[in-house]
Structure 1
Amino acid sequence: MSDQLARILDAKREEVTVRSARTPLADLRRLAEAMPKPRSLASALLPGRFSHAEPASPPVRLIAEIKRASPSKGPLRPDLNPAAYAKAYARGGAAALSVLTDGPFFCGSLDDLKAARDAVTLPVLRKDFTVSEYQIYEARAAGADAILLIVRAVTEAFLRDALALCEALSLDALTEVHDERELEAALRCGARIVGVNNRDLTTFQTFLETSLRLRAHIPEDRIMVAESGIRSRSDIERLAAAGIFNFLVGESLVRASNPENAVRHLIQPFSGEAVKNADNQRA
């Protein structure tokens, strides 16, 4: 685990302690269990698998991210309006949203998530560092449709329990892995949506080869999402040629002068040759 990740997780545990003192777990659980049924992230991503049934439709499904900053890049869009970006992403054709809710390191909040979700009908992922069941109930009480679980950040026992709790609350979980060992743990624990993070958490460099390498080890009955380092249409086409059709993209969209057009550009239909290559990979 990198020093940066360790610092974030330590801060997150302290944050959970403070928040749970303000709103006890029992109260939060009641709020979460009283929420309407979430929107399905899994259903939004399943069409991302290439199908001859819809040859004119873009096989790409994009989780478009809303974030103001990151520890590695600093401020990205400090004045970001979550509702406006959510609407722009939806108009551009995004399948779902990801909203950073960490405050100290990403300048986000649960209010950002609420504002984004209220603005659109897309499923919304709470992207944060989940280290406690408290945060899972908190996410559902705030209206999140899915949460992020990072294999490297938790024990396997916690991951298994967290996935079970998500199922009980009808929440989807994007379970994030960085290598083969973490992927094996995610699959053992029953992860249905597997996010492959292309970012090396030690150097913070990104390598699309990580997704390309792990793709072959993810069963067909699971949903794969490629994360980090996806900046251009050529990146999308390279990964799609390997049978990867679901993507989480943040920085390039947040920095774009026109986020709606940026989304539309990434998910545009493939050319005949690109479709043929993707089909060959899926055969």
Structure 2
Amino acid sequence: MDILRKILEVKAQEVEEAKRREPLSAVRRRAEESPPTRPFLESLSAPGPEGVNVIAEIKRASPSKGTIRAGLDPRAYARAYQRAGAAALSVLTDERFFQGSFRDLQVAREAVEVPVLRKDFTIDEYQIYEARAVGADAVLLIVRAVPPDFLRDALSLCRELGLGALVEVHDEREMETALARGAPLIGVNNRDLTTFRTDIETSIRLRKQLPAGMPMVAESGIGGREDVERLLDAGIFNFLVGESLVRAPDPETALRSLLGTAAGSRF
């Protein structure tokens, strides 16, 4: 059994448990009463001041690597990322496999002014209302994890709630599905979710399939400035970076290096 399938099985159980604790009607009401979201899609629509946008991730662990940063302080990381010039944040909220939580997302968002993506495995509309209710500005939708009709309906619900959506693909067929269902922003995951190996050539290859002028996000496997420059040469200017920043002794300096700006950390 591959890792993604196991995660999705557990996620389905978690969603049903959440529905028993708080019914959909209550979560929907909280979502609809939440303050306005921050502009996630707009922040990634054009290159930033240095020609690069980074969605900097708060990530405690992963199924393939185990614990990445014990005792991670989401507030300190969020502030360091914003000081360095992050266009947005991504916060893992999956607890079982990534040691994340809604609390991490809320603490990080309260500390900064940039938009925040809820990074999780979204398989039910309940989770979209939930994301809006806890303060997320955008959600991740993984094409491989859901039926095409759910993807279409989820994107419609995101628009209704004012949430941004990053639609993640891994190959040409998934890209076709995402575009056909109206994805506003495509993220190409360079990590194979079956083996968890990474190869940034995936982003370079799939970039050619996007409509002219449509931005995309390269996800996973971006370890340093040389990877950023290689992807910039392919016309990609948005990057989601997690592990290399979280493992760095100084995440602010590490992010400045990716952006190509001078160091000057206060982490």
Provide Cα deviations, 1:114-162, integer angstroms capped at 9, x if missing partner.
0000000010000000010000000000000000000000000000000
Aligned partner letter, 1:38: T
Summarize the alignment of residues 1-283 of structure 1 with structure 2, pairs less than 5 Å apart.
3-48=2-47, 57-268=49-260
Contact conserved, 1:192 with 1:223, CA < 8 A, in 2? Answer: no
Aligned partner letter, 1:17: E
Aligned length: 262
The TM-score normalised by the length of structure 1 is: 0.91
Contact conserved, 2:138 with 2:165, CA < 8 A, in 1? Answer: yes
Contact conserved, 1:130 with 1:149, CA < 8 A, in 2? Answer: yes
Cα distance in 2, alignment partners of residues 132 and 239 from structure 1: 33
Contact conserved, 1:212 with 1:242, CA < 8 A, in 2? Answer: yes
Aligned partner letter, 1:23: E
Aligned-pair CA distance for 1:46: 1.5
Contact conserved, 1:89 with 1:260, CA < 8 A, in 2? Answer: yes
SS of 2:136's equivalent?
Answer: coil
Q: Which runs of 5+ in 1 are unaligned?
A: 50-56, 270-283
Aligned partner letter, 1:219: P
Cα distance in 1, alignment partners of residues 47 and 210 from structure 2: 15
Aligned partner letter, 1:5: L
Contact conserved, 2:51 with 2:237, CA < 8 A, in 1? Answer: yes
Aligned-pair CA distance for 1:221: 4.4
Provide Cα deviations, 1:39-81, integer angstroms capped at 9, x if missing partner.
01111112228xxxxxxx3110000000100000000012001
Moved more, 61-70 or 39-48: 39-48
Contact conserved, 1:42 with 1:223, CA < 8 A, in 2? Answer: no
Aligned partner letter, 1:4: I
Q: Which runs of 5+ in 2 are unaligned?
A: 262-267
Aligned partner letter, 2:77: Y
**Which ranges of 4 or more aligned residues in structure 1 deviate by more than 2 Å?**
220-223
Contact conserved, 1:101 with 1:112, CA < 8 A, in 2? Answer: yes
Aligned-pair CA distance for 1:220: 2.9
SS of 2:44's equivalent?
Answer: helix
Aligned-pair CA distance for 1:82: 0.5
The TM-score normalised by the length of structure 2 is: 0.96
Cα distance in 2, alignment partners of residues 222 and 154 from structure 1: 23
